[in-house]
Structure formats: C-alpha cells, structure tokens
Chains A and B, each alone.
Chain A
Amino acid sequence: MMDKLITGLQGSKYAQAALLALFVALTCAWVFLMDKSVVAFLLLLSSLLLLHYTSFPTKIKWAVGGVMLLLVVPFATSGGASHEAYMEVATQCGIFIAMALGLNVVVGFAGLLDLGFVAFFAVGAYTYAIFSTPQATEFMSGGWLPLTGSYFWLFIFIGGFIASLFGILLGLPVLRVKGDYLAIVTLGFGEITRIIFNNLDKPVNITNGALGISSIQAPNLFGYHFTFPHQFYFIVIAILALVILCVKRLEHSRLGRSWKAIRDNEIAAQSSGIPLIRTKLTAFAVGASFSGMMGVVFAAKQTFVDPTSFTYLESITILVMVLLGGMGSVPGVILGACVITLLNLQVLTEITLWLNQLTMQGIIKVPHALSPSKMQRFIFGAVLILFAIFRPNGLIAARNRKVDEGRLRAANAPVSAKLRDPSGHGEGGSS
C-alpha cells in the first residue's frame, strides 16, 4: 500500500507538486498562526529538502526554492512576534551555509583537510570592522576614516578578496605538505591567526586585541539602514545565491574536475597534466573568499567582533557541517549547515529551556552538567565518529555526473577539440 503510493508519487510530478504545495501551505499556516513554534519553523524549512527530492527539472527546483526563500519564508514568519528570532536563525544558517560551501570546495572537492578555516571568516569580519569604525584611525591617518555603512556593499567583495589572498598566502607554503600533515599545518595557521588577532593591539593597535571592535556601522543602502535580522536575511540570501551559483558552475568545470582528480589521486592527476599548485591554490582562494564575504556580513550584523568568535571549535563546527551533509555534495553541505546551525541555536536551546522548566516545576531533576546546550562537543564528536565510520558520504552523498559516453562521442566526433572543454553545466545529474 505504502509502496504503491510511493511509486505513484515517483511517477507523477503533479502529485509531487500537490504534496509539496500542501506541505508548504500547512507548515506556513502553522508558522504564521502559532506565536512561536520551533517545530513549525523546522518543518517549513524541511520543505526545501522535500523539494530537493522531487523529480522536477533542476531549474524549476531552483526557481521554487528561490520563491520559497524570498517570499514564503519571510511572509510566513512575519505573522507572530517571533519574526525577528526566526529571521536571525535563518540569517545565521545562511552565513554558515556559505562557509560550509567554502570549506566544501577545499575539503570536499580538492580533498585538502583544512582545520583552521574560520581564520578566513575572521579576516573578512575584521576587514570590515576595522574600516567602518574609528579603529582604522589608530594606525592610519586620513579624513576619509571611518567609512560609512554605504561602503558595506563594496566591502563584501573586499572582504572576500582579502580572505582569498590569505587563502593563497596560507596555501603557498602548505602545498608542500600532504594529507594529515596539511591538516595539522592549517590548524597551526588557524591558531596563529587567532593569537595574532588577539594580541595585535600593541605595538601598533590594529585589531584592538582582546577587547574587540564594537559599534560597527550598519549597512546603508541609499539612506536605508539594515539593522534588523529580517533585513540581513535578504543580504545573506543574495550572497548565498552568488556563492551557490559559483560552486555549481565550478563543480563541473575543468577546474572542478581537476580538484576532484587531485582529491582522488594526486600523483595520477599530476601525471595527466593537472597543474597541482595552481589548482590547489584556487581551491583555497575560492573557499576562503566565501568565508570572507560572510565574515563582513557577520561583523555588520553583530556590530561587534572579537577573537573569541573565531576559535578552533568554530572550524570544527564547519567541518562537522560538511561531513554531516556529505563531502563534495552541494545540497548535502547546505543541509548539513542548516541542521547543525538549527541544532545549535534552536533545538538545543529549546530543549534546555524545556528541561529547565520541568526542573523548576519539580517534575524531573536533570543535573546541570547534562544540560543539552552544553553538549555541543559531545554531539559534534559523536557525529564525526559515526559518520566517518558508517556514512562517510554524508546525508546526501555527492554524485558524479554520469557521462553518456555514446552521446558524447556522437556529438563530439566531428569536433574532437570540444572534448577537451565540455562546458561545466547543462542538465545535471546532480542537483
């Protein structure tokens, strides 16, 4: 019975569309009507996952997803008082998705394990923080400082650019080491970056050291100030769209395939003519730039940065997202980032509050040590071990695009030159 239903669903796109629409409508109504319901919000977001599994053409999926994120989600959450709280969570999700996608380029595509990835995020955040506050006047002069919030838009790209420069700088020496040595070198770099940010308040005060930089300017677009999470949400969505577009195009491009070749067998890749150094460096640069851009957004949203936001735990958190979702799989990594961020910000907090309430009402006694919001390391550790052993491909495994050999040959037989550069996109087997 169930099986029949499922096969029926698989066959009919209309049935899928109807089901999806019903699901979205229901969860929307739930989110809209309930004052604050984490569950409803999670379900609403999970409709995107359902969308992923439908058998619509990829373009339609993207279009529907875009409509969902740009219209449906902001509207549905605007019903209750929790609007901003939902949007805050969604914004942070977006930030982490972009970072996880960045790390995915480095780890998932190119197979270079980076344990200090949060350093690039820090670079982006500090870039904007320093120049949009009087901090910059501490070490350089000029009447044009501090910059106003309207430079934010420019800084998204500057932040990304500087982060990618750092990526290349880090990458250059790192290229000589391989495998787990690489991991430990990147870890060392990450720690050095944090220590330097934490201490660079003397002899020249550049980062204001441990005190951090506060009162960072809010973004400003023709006099319109972005201060609330629901405003940042749209900035994040826009950047995220750019990032996803980049990643999708890169994934199947010549460069993307070179990354994967290096990941799968470095020596073989090298002997088939892939320039190792350049390919690895671009992986670092691309990954870092995503992180850097989101760093700028993060600084503007928090209005405050300090080195405690950029610890080893953060790097590992992003790694957990990538591994959980599936290394090398774009939809997987997006899912992984959402799950971990929601877990961190919503689910664990809510369960803790609930247990707290029960404890206060004297129904159960949960020792404080076991409060779920403290269990991050425990959960992350367990996720890493379990997924490494039982599901190394993650929740949504990466699929290599199938190449229809016969068709390819037929199409390219006359112009064999084309074979060398099959364009990176088109109807994709993966979505």
Chain B
Amino acid sequence: MGMKKVWIASMAVMLAAGLLAACGNNGGSDKKIIKIASQSPLSGGSSVQGEAIKLGAQMALEERKAEFEKLGFDLQFTPYDDQADPKKGVANAETIAADKQIMAIVGHMNSGVAIPSSVVYDKYGIPMVSPSNTATEVTDRKLKVVNRIVARDDFQGPAAAQYAVNTVGAKNIFVIQDKTAYGQGLADAFKSEAEKLGATIAGYEAITIGEKDFNGVITQILSKKPDFIFFGGLYAEAGQIVKQARDKGVTAPIMGGDGIDTAGMVEVAGDKVVGTLYTSVSTDITKTDAGKAWADAYKQKFGKNVDGYSAYAYDCMNLILNALKEAIEANDGDLPTREQVRDQVRATKDFEGMATKVTFDDKGDNAYAKVFVYEFKAASYPGSLISEVSK
C-alpha cells in the first residue's frame, strides 16, 4: 500500500506547485528593479490604521515611479501583513531580507512588532522608517536601521500630562491602561510626568483588551471622583469607556493617546465622544490647503478617507525615496547597496513632508516630531486641534 496514494499526493502537489509557480513569475524587465516594502497589520484589530499606512506609502511610491524610471530603475511596492504579531513580523522580515531588490521598509505600525523585526533588518542593513512607533525601546537600542518620524512615548505621554495639569488644571487624575505594550508605555509616561507636575494619581487600573463592559473600573472612578481621566489604549476600548463613564454620570474630562486618533473612536462612542481629548503624534493634515488637496486625491485614488497615519506613511516613503535617489547619485547612477541607503536615510536633514518636517538624530528619532492635542468638539473625526507641543 502507500505508493498509489503517494503518487496521487505528489500529483496534487505538482498541480498546486504549477499554480503557485504561475503566481511566482514576476515577468522579466530590463530595468533594474528596486522594491520598497511596507509592514503593517492588514488584518486583525488595527487593520484600519495598518491599511492606511500601506496606502499612504503606496501613493507616494506611485507618484514618483516616473522619476525613478528616468534614472533607469523600476520602482515597485510590496506590502506585507505583519498581523500585529511579532512572530509574523520577524518571519516577514527574513523574507524581505531575502529579496535583495527590497531596499527599505515603511513600518511597522506596532512597536511590539518593530522591536524584534528591526533586529533582523539590522543584520541585513535594511533601513526602516516607522510612521507610528512610539515606544522608547524602538530607537533606544540605537540600531542603525531604525528610524521614526513621530514622537516618542516619553514625549507624547508627558506632553499629555502637561496639558492635563497645566492647561486643564487637573489635580486628581485617574489613569487606565489596557495592558498592551502600547497602552502601558503611554500610561506610565503620562503618570510619572503628572506626578512630577504635582498632580495626585487617584487610581491606576488596567482593563482587559477585547472586552465591552468596563463598568467595574468606572465604578471605581465614581467612588474616587477624579477631576481628570487618562486612558492609554486603543479606540475600541476607549470608546466603550467614554460611553459607559458618561452613562454613569462621570463628567471629568477623558483623554487618550494616538490610539484613539481614528474615526473608529467616534463610531464606538457615538455622541458621547464630544469633549474627549486626545494627543496624537500625527497632525490633522486637512487643515492646510495642500493637505486638503492631498487628502482629496487620496480619497479619489483609494475610495477611503485619510486616517491618522496615512500622511505619515506617505512622508516615510518620500523620505526613503529621497535618500534612495541621493544614494543612487552618490553611486554614479548605479544601484546602491542597502547599507548606503541606510546611511543616507539616517542622514536625512530638514526633509519637508506633507505632515511633518524631519531631521533624524543619532538614534533615528525625529528632532521635529511634535505632539498635537485634539478635542472632539463634535461627534465627528478628526477632532479639532487645540494645542501643539514641540520639543
């Protein structure tokens, strides 16, 4: 026995192989191909923002295809889905490293994925520029390949605390976090700065991500009667917390971080969202005319409204392409090595992007990164910009 089945099985494998081989073909081209990859969660809980990163990067790349064509290069975009999962991110990173045509990466969205994946990039010298990583650990390891154009948690959290204490006048603050790397990092940074500024912390509680009922923690808030509430976490939970707190008659202002800087927040919290504050590392680009025009073009191209990180991903890609172009020129028009591109990316100075100006310091942090404070004045996204903090 056995052999017959094996034959059938091998035939099936061959057939599948044929199918796959058909997809593997890239088609020959005389031009030298340069690929830029993106890594962001295209599936799972934060796929809305992950998708925005992909589309923003894609838009920038497609706009500049012709420019590189003149230089003799065929520019291509390869989006990867890291599923917000560190394991998947690392496996993708190895795949990316294997594809010698990939010169740089836009991403990741989650710091928890960026940290292990960037170790892989570092081994192969592939630069990554993140439009959204805020955890301090991302750049504090001083890897040559890691850059980000947004503010760090130890800038965003304290900026939020300063706003809460100095501007709003909060004295008795309740802090909630969602026990994820992102939420905890932000909430901790907020808490320590708020304490430094003289506010007392009425309570520090954690919730379970993915749940819908947060009445327990809100009951605690009711009995502690804080005059300000800060939440480190994402919109799905933040929306419920805001809604349930308002239902219970909690009137203290509620503030969140960039995790609630998304249209989803308004959808979940509904009308109750009005009055909610949030800090963000990304600006509302639709405020300027150029930004508005860009957002319209984006909408027309992809049929979706811009999300917080769209413009930042767009800037990341443009920044990479600028560096790439300079590396090509420095290399007399030949294909540069990854290391050359990496060093060129890090050397970026006074890059004027759609959303932010960028100069990288020696760790890969952006010296011009800003933190913006918004308020949902109506139940619509984005909220209105009420304050801006730079370093």
Q: Do chains A and B touch in the complex (CB under 8 A)?
A: yes
Q: A209-B179, A214-B116 are in contact. Are A46 and B97 (CB under 8 A)?
A: no
Contact B94 A84 (CB under 8 A): yes
Contact B99 A39 (CB under 8 A): no
- Taken together as a complex, chains A and B put the C-alpha atoms of A211 and B232 apart, in Å, by 13
Contact A308 B91 (CB under 8 A): no
- Determine the residue in chain A with the shortest Cβ distance to B18: A39
- Determine the residue in chain B with the shortest Cβ distance to A301: B90
Chain B binding surface SS class: helix
Q: A10-B3, A209-B184 are in contact. Are A306 and B112 (CB under 8 A)?
A: yes
Residues of B within 8 A of A72 (CB): none
Query: Is B79 engaged at the interface, CB distance under 8 Å to the other chain?
Result: yes
Q: A345-B91, A374-B43 are in contact. Are A38 and B86 (CB under 8 A)?
A: no
Contact A9 B91 (CB under 8 A): no
Contact with B along A204-241 (1 / 0, CB 8 A): 00000111101100000000000111000000000000
- Taken together as a complex, chains A and B put the C-alpha atoms of A82 and B98 apart, in Å, by 4
Contact A227 B180 (CB under 8 A): no
Of residues 108 through 124 on chain B, the ones whose CB sits less than 8 Å from some CB of chain A are: 112, 115-116, 119, 123-124
Contact B7 A6 (CB under 8 A): yes
- Taken together as a complex, chains A and B put the C-alpha atoms of A92 and B183 apart, in Å, by 30
Contact A214 B137 (CB under 8 A): yes
Binds A, one of B19-27, B350-358, B375-383: B19-27
**Residue B13 contacts which of A43, A309, A373 (CB distance < 8 angstroms)?**
A43
- Determine the residue in chain A with the shortest Cβ distance to B93: A88
Query: Is A53 engaged at the interface, CB distance under 8 Å to the other chain?
Result: yes
Q: For the complex formed, measure the closest distance between the CB of B33 and the CB atoms of chain A, giving whole angstroms.
A: 12
Contact A308 B112 (CB under 8 A): yes
- Determine the residue in chain B with the shortest Cβ distance to A313: B85
- Determine the residue in chain A with the shortest Cβ distance to B24: A37
**Residue B98 contacts which of A83, A227, A304 (CB distance < 8 angstroms)?**
A83
- Taken together as a complex, chains A and B put the C-alpha atoms of A368 and B54 apart, in Å, by 12
Contact B94 A88 (CB under 8 A): yes
Query: Is A277 engaged at the interface, CB distance under 8 Å to the other chain?
Result: no
Residues of B within 8 A of A81 (CB): 98-100
Of residues 185 through 199 on chain A, the ones whose CB sits less than 8 Å from some CB of chain B are: 198-199
Residues of A within 8 A of B99 (CB): 36, 81-82
Q: For the complex formed, measure the closest distance between the CB of B100 and the CB atoms of chain A, giving whole angstroms.
A: 5
Q: For the complex formed, measure the closest distance between the CB of B105 and the CB atoms of chain A, giving whole angstroms.
A: 15
Q: A39-B21, A46-B10, A81-B100 are in contact. Are A371 and B81 (CB under 8 A)?
A: yes
Residues of B within 8 A of A198 (CB): 179
Q: A53-B2, A81-B100, A309-B86 are in contact. Are A228 and B13 (CB under 8 A)?
A: no
Contact B98 A368 (CB under 8 A): no
Of residues 79 through 117 on chain A, the ones whose CB sits less than 8 Å from some CB of chain B are: 80-89, 92
Residues of B within 8 A of A49 (CB): 6, 9
- Taken together as a complex, chains A and B put the C-alpha atoms of A214 and B181 apart, in Å, by 12
Query: Is A303 engaged at the interface, CB distance under 8 Å to the other chain?
Result: yes
Residues of B within 8 A of A50 (CB): 6, 10
Residues of A within 8 A of B4 (CB): 3, 6
- Taken together as a complex, chains A and B put the C-alpha atoms of A422 and B350 apart, in Å, by 78
**Residue B79 contacts which of A3, A9, A88, A356 (CB distance < 8 angstroms)?**
A356
Contact B81 A368 (CB under 8 A): no
Query: Is B215 engaged at the interface, CB distance under 8 Å to the other chain?
Result: no
Residues of B within 8 A of A85 (CB): 94-95, 97-98
Query: Is B92 engaged at the interface, CB distance under 8 Å to the other chain?
Result: yes
Residues of B within 8 A of A212 (CB): 112, 115, 181
Contact B24 A350 (CB under 8 A): yes
Residues of B within 8 A of A82 (CB): 95, 98-99
Q: For the complex formed, measure the closest distance between the CB of B374 and the CB atoms of chain A, giving whole angstroms.
A: 26
- Determine the residue in chain A with the shortest Cβ distance to B91: A345
Contact B179 A210 (CB under 8 A): yes
Residues of B within 8 A of A87 (CB): 94
Residues of A within 8 A of B9 (CB): 49
Contact B86 A302 (CB under 8 A): yes
Chain A binding surface SS class: helix
Q: For the complex formed, measure the closest distance between the CB of B169 and the CB atoms of chain A, giving whole angstroms.
A: 29
Q: For the complex formed, measure the closest distance between the CB of B273 and the CB atoms of chain A, giving whole angstroms.
A: 26
Of residues 136 through 180 on chain B, the ones whose CB sits less than 8 Å from some CB of chain A are: 137, 141, 179-180
Query: Is B17 engaged at the interface, CB distance under 8 Å to the other chain?
Result: yes
Residues of A within 8 A of B2 (CB): 10, 53
Q: A302-B86, A309-B86 are in contact. Are A353 and B78 (CB under 8 A)?
A: yes
Query: Is A354 engaged at the interface, CB distance under 8 Å to the other chain?
Result: yes
Contact B85 A308 (CB under 8 A): yes
Most interface-central of B3, B84, B137 (chain A CB within 10 A): B3
Contact with A along B176-194 (1 / 0, CB 8 A): 0001110111000000000
Contact A199 B94 (CB under 8 A): no
Query: Is B292 engaged at the interface, CB distance under 8 Å to the other chain?
Result: no
- Taken together as a complex, chains A and B put the C-alpha atoms of A124 and B206 apart, in Å, by 26
Residues of A within 8 A of B98 (CB): 36, 80-86
Residues of B within 8 A of A309 (CB): 85-87
Contact A43 B17 (CB under 8 A): yes
Residues of B within 8 A of A368 (CB): 42, 51
- Taken together as a complex, chains A and B put the C-alpha atoms of A345 and B93 apart, in Å, by 11
Query: Is B83 engaged at the interface, CB distance under 8 Å to the other chain?
Result: yes
Residues of B within 8 A of A356 (CB): 79
Residues of A within 8 A of B10 (CB): 46, 50
Residues of B within 8 A of A2 (CB): 7
Contact A350 B20 (CB under 8 A): yes
- Determine the residue in chain A with the shortest Cβ distance to B21: A39
Residues of A within 8 A of B24 (CB): 36-39, 350, 354
Residues of B within 8 A of A371 (CB): 42-43, 81
Residues of B within 8 A of A10 (CB): 2-3
Of residues 44 through 95 on chain B, the ones whose CB sits less than 8 Å from some CB of chain A are: 44, 51, 58, 77-81, 83-88, 90-92, 94-95
Residues of B within 8 A of A6 (CB): 3-4, 7
Query: Is A42 engaged at the interface, CB distance under 8 Å to the other chain?
Result: yes
Query: Is A137 engaged at the interface, CB distance under 8 Å to the other chain?
Result: no
Query: Is A267 engaged at the interface, CB distance under 8 Å to the other chain?
Result: no
Residues of B within 8 A of A37 (CB): 21, 24
Contact A373 B6 (CB under 8 A): no
Residues of B within 8 A of A3 (CB): 4
Q: Closest 5 A-B residue pairs measured CB to CB?
A: A85-B98, A374-B43, A304-B116, A88-B94, A354-B23
Q: What are 5 inter-chain pairs, A to B, with CB distance below 8 A? A: A53-B6, A210-B179, A214-B116, A215-B141, A303-B116
Q: With A46-B13, A308-B86 given, can you name 20 additional A-B contacts, CB distance below 8 Å? A: A10-B3, A39-B17, A50-B6, A84-B124, A85-B94, A85-B95, A209-B184, A210-B179, A210-B184, A211-B135, A211-B184, A212-B115, A214-B137, A304-B119, A308-B84, A309-B86, A347-B20, A349-B80, A353-B78, A356-B79
